[in-house]
Structures are given as structure tokens and as C-alpha cells.
Structure 1
Amino acid sequence: MFSKTTDYYNNNAREFYNSTVLVDLSALYSEFLPLIKSAGVILDAGCGSGRDAFYFKQQGYLVEAFDASEQLAAIATEHLQQPVETKTFQQLCAQNTYHGIWCCASLLHVAKAELPLIFAKLAAALKNNGVMYVSFKYGETERVDNGRNFTDLTEYSLAKLISQQPDLVMIKHWQSADQRPNRSSEIWLNALIQKVDV
């Protein structure tokens, strides 16, 4: 994540929390959670408000979470009632730890050139047959919008990235509209990716 993106979230943490914590992502949860073993360990990577980690915890999963924004991590710690680390994807070093990794609207702040390394780190952190969910804004550009860096992907550019990781397989991808009020014209690319034995 670029430093100015982190600065944006630190400076707007409470506003971001208020605008996202009640967004209904049940349609995404229903795609992801059936693929995760009961009471399995889920990492919410780039957790923002902690909304999704909180839901997973309520469903009986063991949850870990981190965010690059110190201010958001503090708010998510309060929301989740457990420690949320302040760290970046680049600092992820877990090995064979998680049954699921949730990257909802978080990897999109990683520079495209760094995504192969990050996917390798995520794959290493997953247990065999573990599943990760990722989402990106739909497109093919790297851009700055409202003080934040974005990497947009399509099915094709994401598939190309995943193909560089021999132990990752994309099992499903789909497009969806933004669930926030007045944002329905924004299209998201969603994908489920599984770690396989090679």
C-alpha cells in the first residue's frame, strides 16, 4: 500500500468506519464461508472497519485481522474486541496458517508490480486447500482517486496474476455492483482462489 493511501485512511478513519461498517456483504459471505471448514481460522487482510472479521467471528470462526492504517486497526480492535495488527501485505509472513483469507477491497491498494509477490505471500499463509476471496474495482488502470492509489483488474488480468503462482487456482470469479448508497454504478471484480497441492 502506498504511503499516501495509508495517510488517507489514518486521516479519515472514523468517517470510513461509519460509511462501511453497516454495508451488507451477505451475498459475498455466502460464496466464501461454505468453502471454509467449520470453526476454521480466517485472516481478514486489510480489514478496514473490522466489519467482516466481526461477522466471521459471530459465525464461530477463529479470526485474525490486520490493516495498514494504524487508526483503522485501532477502531477495528475496538469493534472486534480483540487485537488487530497494524501491518501491510508486504509484512505478511505466516506459513500454512489459515483455512481462509479475506481480502475485501484491500489488495486494490497494492501496486500492480507488487501483486505477484503478495499473492505468493498469501499462498504461503494458506493451508493446503485453503481459499482466499479477493476483490478489485473493475478495469485495467493504476490510478489515484481522492488521495488513494488503486490497481484495477479484470478477469483476464487477475487470471494472469494467479497463473504465476503454481499452487493457486481461481475457482470462481464474478462481477457485482457496489453495495454502498449512491455507488451502485461502480463495478467490482470478485474471485475465489484455492491453494492446491503441486
Structure 2
Amino acid sequence: MEDPTSKTAATYDHIAPAFAAGNEHPDAGLQLFRQRFADTVPAGGTVADLGCGPGRDAAWLGGRGLRVVGVDRSAAMAGLTAARGVPAVLGDLRRPPVAPGSLAGLWSVAALLHVPAAETEATLRAWWTALRTGGVLGLSTSAGDSEGWEEVPSAAGRHRWFVHRDPAALLHLLGAAGFETVEHGLNTAGRTWLSILAIKREV
């Protein structure tokens, strides 16, 4: 079976400029969550934005004194991030292309929702490995209980793989992977979003 994330990345290559234009301004709930994440990461800390898209959040975080690198499977999206002056690399958020224990923070918004449900646990463990002890995870993903292809409303024939995760189940997997959840909450803006701030525990 084809990896759904490959087809999803190809879709983002196709829709990148329109997606960037339509998602430049985060809703109020995400703005507050993003600020809390930035306030929790030590000043000057290195942060990876996994699934950075066109670099909206990566650029914002860099403007708050953090050292940010964007990671995305879509070459078009990584290019848009780089055009903002943010270092960006092609990479798979399921296996962050960073040295183990090198990150003070890991930010991922509207990206885990494209990772097949069966790969959730392995992905979270890879994120735990990338963070240093005490490192901060800021995660926002779609809440729900379904998985499958969804057509892009503005691009007929183009599809993305979506996974809408059960909040309690995801929080349990984070704990099993070695994270301590500091806060979590739901916000409805188009979809229902689950936002989680968590810290890498010592084991």
C-alpha cells in the first residue's frame, strides 16, 4: 500500500501558494496556545517546527528569539518557509532529521493529523528522542474518531489523508512515550482542534 503521506505531500506541493494565502492568520485560540509554547521554551532555544507548511508559525517563533528550523515533506512548503528567512529542510515528521536530544522545543500544528493512526506511537517516541530532557512539545491536531482521504475543497481531484484522533487516547500515548502533559484543551475553528503542551520527562 502506498504511504498516504506521500500522496498528501504531493497535494501540498500543488496547493502550496493558495494554502499559504488562506492560512496566514491563525485563530485566536491558536495564537494564545502558540504564545504559551514560546513562553515555556527557554530563550534562544532550538525549536523544530514539524510539518511547518509555509512557515507562518516558524517565522513567528523565530521573531520571539527562538532558533527555529522548519521540517516538511512538501518541497513547495519548505521553499515557502525558507523564503521567509527561516532555515527549512525536507524531512518526515515521523522521523525528525535532527540529532537525538538536540531540541529545546518541538512545535507541530495541523501535521500529525496526516500521519496514519497506526504510526502514532512510533512518531511520538521519535519526538521524545529528538527533545532534550525538559524539552517542550507544542502539538495541535484534529480531534475525532475517523481516518481516511478527504478531497481539498478548492482543488478537485486532490486529496489529503486525515486522522482525527480521540483526545483521551492521544494523551495516553503521549504519557506512554515519556511526556508529561502540562495543559490540553479543545478549540473549534473549522475543525475541532486538540492542543497539548507537554514536557519530556526523565526516564
> Aligned to 1:21, which of 20, 24, 27?
24
Aligned counterparts of 2:132 and 2:35: Cα–Cα separation in 1:
21
Deviation at 1:26, TM superposition (A): 2.0
1:157 alignment partner, one of 169, 173, 197: 169
Q: How many Å separate the matches in 1 of 2:181 and 2:149?
A: 28
Deviation at 1:197, TM superposition (A): 0.8
What amino acid is the match of 2:150? D
Which ranges of structure 2 fall in alignment gaps of 5 or more residues? Answer: 152-158
Instruction: Give the match for residue 185 of structure 2.
Output: 174
Mapped partners of 2:108, 2:199: distance in 1: 13
In structure 1, C-alpha distance between the alignment counterparts of 2:126 and 2:78, rounded to whole Å: 21
Pair 1:3 & 2:6 matched: yes
The answer (yes or no) to whether the contact 1:128–1:195 under 8 Å persists in 2 is: yes
* One-letter amino acid matched to 1:9: Y
- 3-state SS in 2 of match to 1:77: helix
Aligned to 1:67: 72
Q: Which residue pairs with 1:140 in the alignment?
A: 145
Residue ranges of structure 1 left out of the alignment (5+ in a row): none
User: How far does residue 160 in structure 1 lie from its aligned partner after superposition?
Assistant: 2.4
Structure 1 runs of 4+ aligned residues shifted over 6 Å read none
Q: Does 1:97 align with 2:97?
A: no
Percent identity between matched residues is 27
CA contact (8 A) 1:135 1:188 kept: yes
Partners of 1:57 and 1:82 lie apart in 2 by 8
